């Protein structure tokens, strides 16, 4: 694969059609090549200010990554990754020698300006891919939305140019997400004042009435449909609900996504499946077009049968990761930063036929 160099996918012209038409088997092959980077000797990423300016470069200690959502072909064997079509991707990151984990300790300590610069880079990548027919969502913290909108506008970007998820974190007194991470305020009807065509990330964890619990989200689905019916909204504030990995793994996999966490009991797994089933049924009764993304690696008929409402071939259902689990595709792409290094980077990518935002 000419577009794979040292385990990293170079986002030049020849790669866009493979990304658009990929199966999970293709992604697994690309992500396996990435192990040459993620399983190498660990490298200290260094100062955040230096890293932010290098994002997108193939020699950056933190590499942008794509994690796919898959949908099973009708009637196909779910154990074969070639039977899962890729519906879209989430924009994440991986570090040299950091394995399959998102570099959250690094991200959580970013200052507010650094975090917004990071998110802006993700927005540029999302717009770059969307313009080429590829869905790639990035995470936006609600506390950053207004300022990020201004920075995007300065680049000629609008929210309609990107795909994004409204994430679960807030900021501490210093403007960082912090460790342990600061949680965002509970979802409420202010989502209708700011957002359009978003995905709601990390839904279903905790009690039903918690910040993103099933009852909380279901109430927003109902209010959204009522507002649309009254003509108070020009379009949906959110069109996708992503089920958090903790309840999803309990329901489908009968385990916790964190292998070091205490495993759920059989009774709690049965309850998790029932709660997820009831939630999905309730959502689709209100809004039959709502899309559901499940953060779980359910790849056998037995696992998938535990929540029959979420038919893996349903046109509104996809499973994030599928056979990849946490493996991701490492990508490098042309940045429009400033300075000599930027000029050399753009020159290299123009030779490949593509330049971000060009």
Task: Give yes or no for residue 345 having a pLDDT over 90.
Answer: no
Among 82-91, 92-101, 258-267, 348-357, which is the least confidently predicted range? Answer: 348-357
How does pLDDT run across 129-172, given as a tens digit for each residue? 999 999 999 999 999 999 999 999 998 999 999 999 999 999 99
Residue 319 pairs with which residues in a beta bridge? 70, 294
Cβ burial of 185 (10 Å; 0-12, 13-18, 19+) is exposed
Give pLDDT, residue 267.
Answer: 97
Q: Which helix (H) or strand (E) holds 128?
A: helix 112-130
Q: Looking at the predicted structure, is the pLDDT value of residue 101 above 50?
A: yes
Average pLDDT over residues 2-8: 86
Task: Give 299's pLDDT tier (boundaries 50, 70, 90).
Answer: very high
The pLDDT, as a whole number, for residue 212 is 96
Q: Which residues pair with 86 in a beta bridge?
A: 70
From residue 240, alpha-carbon distances to 42, 165, 216, 355 in Å are 36, 9, 15, 30
Angle at 86 between CA 80 and CA 87, to 5 degrees: 140
- Residue 334: the pLDDT is 60
Q: pLDDT > 90: what percent of the chain?
A: 80
Indicate whether 266 pLDDT > 90.
yes
pTM (predicted TM-score): 0.93
Q: CA Rg, the chain, in Å?
A: 20
pLDDT in tens, 177-187: 999 999 999 99
pLDDT at residue 344 is higher than 60: no
Comparing CA positions, the residue from 205, 71, 201, 189 lying closest to residue 138 is 201
């Amino acid at each position: 694969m000419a577009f794979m160099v040292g385990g990293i996918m170079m986002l030049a012209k020849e790669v866009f059609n493979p990304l658009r038409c990929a199966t999970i088997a293709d992604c697994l092959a690309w992500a396996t090549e990435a192990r040459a980077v993620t399983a190498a000797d660990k490298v200290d990423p260094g100062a955040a200010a230096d890293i932010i300016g290098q994002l997108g470069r193939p020699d950056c200690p933190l590499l942008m990554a794509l994690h796919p959502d898959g949908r099973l072909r009708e009637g196909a064997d779910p154990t074969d990754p070639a039977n899962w079509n890729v519906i879209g991707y989430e924009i994440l990151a991986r570090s040299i020698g950091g394995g399959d984990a998102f570099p959250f300790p690094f991200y959580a300590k970013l200052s507010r300006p650094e975090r917004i610069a990071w998110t802006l880079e993700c927005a540029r990548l999302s717009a770059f891919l969307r313009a080429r027919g590829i869905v790639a969502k990035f995470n936006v913290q609600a506390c950053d939305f207004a300022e990020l909108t201004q920075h995007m506008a300065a680049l000629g970007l609008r929210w309609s140019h990107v795909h994004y998820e409204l994430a679960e974190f807030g900021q501490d007194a210093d403007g960082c997400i912090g460790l342990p991470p600061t949680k965002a305020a509970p979802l409420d009807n202010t989502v209708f004042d700011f957002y359009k065509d978003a995905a709601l990330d990390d839904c279903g964890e905790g009690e039903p009435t918690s910040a993103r619990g099933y009852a909380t989200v279901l109430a927003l689905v109902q209010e959204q449909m009522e507002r649309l019916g009254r003509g108070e909204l020009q379009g949906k504030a959110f069109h996708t609900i992503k089920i958090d990995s903790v309840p999803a793994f309990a329901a489908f996999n009968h385990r916790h996504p964190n292998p070091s966490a205490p495993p759920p009991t059989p009774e709690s797994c049965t309850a998790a499946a029932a709660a997820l089933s009831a939630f999905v049924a309730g959502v689709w009764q209100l809004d039959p077009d709502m899309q559901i993304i499940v953060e779980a690696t359910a790849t056998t008929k037995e696992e998938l049968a535990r929540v029959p409402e979420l038919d893996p071939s349903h046109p509104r259902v996809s499973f994030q990761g599928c056979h990849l689990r946490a493996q991701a595709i490492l990508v490098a792409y042309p940045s429009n930063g400033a300075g000599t290094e930027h000029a050399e980077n753009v020159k290299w990518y123009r030779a490949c036929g593509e330049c971000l935002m060009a």
